[in-house]
Amino acid sequence: DTGVSQDPRHKITKRGQNVTFRCDPISEHNRLYWYRQTLGQGPEFLTYFQNEAQLEKSRLLSDRFSAERPKGSFSTLEIQRTEQGDSAMYLCASSPAPQGKELFFGEGSRLTVL
Amino acid sequence: AQSVAQPEDQVNVAEGNPLTVKCTYSVSGNPYLFWYVQYPNRGLQFLLKYITGDNLVKGSYGFEAEFNKSQTSFHLKKPSALVSDSALYFCAVRLTGYSTLTFGKGTMLLVSP
């Protein structure tokens, strides 16, 4: 299967700890997105990369959140000093140019902060 | 700014009956519109999209959607529902010239045998 893969699928951590999620997009896709989904809500945009450049960040992305895509392939999303409100499903998606193309989502990484 | 509204939290339909899941959007330009489906503890799967052209769009698993510019709607439809269609459905909009999708809150579709 050459779809979008995310790791880990589940992460349980204590408040105040740092966590990192990894996303491997579909190989020929130059665009990569991070979304957050909480129970009963639709996915909310966090940030977007085109190749290695981070082109857009949501106001939802506080200073504790950082995302990278160093070589324009895989991406990481790090959350520092986690809070209980960070508990959510973190979804990664990728797409090719041009703009009309749909996003292809991974299975998500579920974070539980105790 | 762009936004999507899915006015129904849940839609109930009997197997074999037609189904409609509603979506309205608000954008200041020409939209790209999408429908996705999500099964429990899974990611989102693409169903169909409207970019331009024919207002009736056909997608995966027998689903279709009709773009109505005057009513700013993009309702998802299927002529005959299956129990296996039971899932969470999301409508999304992307404004031309922008790269991010904005999603609605989702509508849970429950198809009873």
Tens place of pLDDT for every residue, chain B, 113 residues?
788 999 999 999 999 999 999 999 988 888 899 999 999 878 899 999 998 888 999 999 999 999 999 999 999 999 999 999 999 999 999 877 777 889 999 999 999 99
Closest CA to B63 of B40, B90, B42: B90
User: Which pLDDT belongs to residue A88?
Assistant: 96
Which residue from B minimizes the CA distance to A55?
A: B99
* Residue labelled with tokens 């190989």: A27
A–B CB contacts, 8 A cutoff, strictly below: 59
| DSSP-derived secondary structure letter, B30 | P
Instruction: Find the CATH number of the domain harbouring B21.
Output: 2.60.40.10
Average per-residue pLDDT in chain A?
Answer: 92
Which pairing describes strands A19-24 and B3-5: parallel, antiparallel, or unpaired?
unpaired
Range of the domain at B9: 3-112
Measure in Å the smallest separation between the Cα of A20 and chain B Cα atoms: 19
| C-beta atoms of A108 and B46 within 8 A | no
- Number of domain units in chain B: 1
Q: B110 by DSSP, 3-state: which?
A: strand
| C-beta atoms of A45 and B102 within 8 A | yes
| C-beta atoms of A107 and B49 within 8 A | no
Contact in structure between A86 and A113 (CB atoms under 8 Å): yes
Residue in B34, B41, B97 closest to A102 by CB: B34
- Among A21, A99, A111, pick the best mutation site for testing chain B contact (most B Cβ within 10 A): A99
